[in-house]
Structure 1
């Protein structure tokens, strides 16, 4: 599933400055289930933001995803709580072990290259609209 690019960039405020990404938004069960499955590639400045109805334990997997990814788990307040790797075609569960309201998927290595770390603030208008100020769900990917 290829979703439209949101008109507003997503910004991650890092210790060395702001990093902007063009994002697709997966904000319902169908879009979240499809995610980036079957995608062979995407531009370096692109990502997918998963928006959940509330902060809760979330888990992902990469069974049908050929691209290696960075998965950034984001709390209700927009802070990154965990950055975990997603290995292509892996059925292993990826979960930070704590609640997240949002998950941002980027190409593998992007977080390290851009200086994105746990605790950094993620900003996007859709996050503010759903509760960020600055039950369990799974997604096949």
Structure 2
């Protein structure tokens, strides 16, 4: 490879590294997973979280399987392209979760509280949802979340 090609290749690789570094400029967890801000507005005020995003089939299928319990201010937001009846289960998930189903405007449709670890019993949304938020078990009750409350994230359009 000639000198000018090596310089060009080095420049391209350096530029790619810069783009990669810029893409990861937001908060990350201890494992290096990107986190995004999300808040839930309830009767007791606005409650802020940092969430991982599961927006493709592989991420949605894996979810929080095999993971340690979530911190109080963390969660995972599952994004679906269309609002339909959703149903989640806890297969291979070692800690209990609150599963919050959300409509396209960011309103909570329903909450499955304290989902049983490792259970394969489906937990339906009981209404059309295109977002599902998983939080540590009991957090929904702690913040007073209920159907109709507002979830704020760029994915939802109030």
TM norm structure 2: 0.76
CA RMSD of aligned residues (A): 1.3
Instruction: Determine if contact 1:3/1:25 at 8 Å carries over to the other structure.
Output: no
Task: Name the count of aligned residue pairs.
Answer: 127
How far 1:3 sits from its partner (Å)? 7.1
Match of 2:139 in 1: 110
Do structure 1's residue 91 and structure 2's residue 120 form an aligned pair?
A: yes
Do structure 1's residue 45 and structure 2's residue 73 form an aligned pair?
A: yes
Deviations 1:90-123, CA, capped at 9 Å, x for gaps? 0100112221010000000000011111111001
Larger radius of gyration: 2
Do structure 1's residue 35 and structure 2's residue 90 form an aligned pair?
A: no
TM norm structure 1: 0.85
| Unmatched 5+ stretches in structure 2 | 1-30
| Unmatched 5+ stretches in structure 1 | 135-141
Larger RCO: 1 or 2 (CA < 8 Å, sep 6+): 1
Regions of 4+ moved over 3 Å = none
SS of match in other structure, 1:25: strand
CA distance in 2, matches of 1:41, 1:112: 17
Instruction: Determine if contact 1:55/1:76 at 8 Å carries over to the other structure.
Output: yes
CA distance in 2, matches of 1:13, 1:44: 16
